[in-house]
Structure 1
Amino acid sequence: MVGAALGIAVAAYYYFVPLTGVNGTIGAGLVLFSTVAMLIAAALMPLFSSKAIYMTLGLLCLLDVFLTALAGYFLHEWLLIAAMVVALVGVIRAISRFSVIHRHQGARV
């Protein structure tokens, strides 16, 4: 969630502030939308105990991270790429943590 929030801040800056080179463009708007969607998905992940739903949201977040970083590369938004690196670490940690928690819970039953 931290990486997504950082991504929103960076994307909003580049979209709304004049003279950034990409302000008001469709690409910057799509990046802003994708980071908001990433934050929503990251916030919803802990609410699901179903492995299928959790992993689906995790994989969609992972896809969102890579595609947003690619868009940041094309838009020359290096801070956005750095925010997506933070988000990537978070997504990988969340997915691996869910697997470890459920593996240990299954052993206790």
Structure 2
Amino acid sequence: MLHSQSSRAGTILLLLAAVIGVAVALYAWLTPLTGVTDTIGALGVAIASAVLAVLTLMLRAASGRGARIFLIIVTLVVLIGIGFAAALLHQYIITAAMVVGLIGLIMLSSKPVHYNTRVRA
């Protein structure tokens, strides 16, 4: 299956945002004097960022129109949720990464859907 260049770039941006989210949230959760050491919020952002990576791979593999629309909406909600939670935790690097992820989602969602057409006898 051929994917467009914007689809690949969108996937890379979304995965990059997820990796940055996991790394910075775990750093903030584990490092003393960050203000959010051992808080459930920092751990939640790290887990949600890992879920974002899984959603990105699922969206990349989805071929049906309904499945793609559903995954795009769920991914958008997760991006907004992570960005808002990171802003409340004063981890603005994660919030900026989620804006980059939003750009990647827009690029990934612009990929045309190719249907598998079967010939019926």
**Same fold, TM exceeding 0.5?**
yes
| 1:2-81 paired onto structure 2 within 5 Å | 2-81=16-95
Cα distance, 1:63 vs structure 2 = 0.6
CA–CA distance in structure 1, aligned partners of residues 44 and 99 of structure 2: 19
- Of residues 104, 110, 121, the one that matches 1:96 is 110
Greater helix proportion: 1
List alignment gaps of at least 5 residues for structure 2: 1-14, 116-121
Q: Percent identity?
A: 31
What is the TM-score of this pair, normalised by structure 2? 0.77
Cα distance, 1:21 vs structure 2 = 0.7
List alignment gaps of at least 5 residues for structure 1: none
Structure 1: 4+ residue segments shifted above 3 A:
none
Letter in 1 for 2:22: I
Matched pairs, number: 101
Cα distance, 1:86 vs structure 2 = 1.0
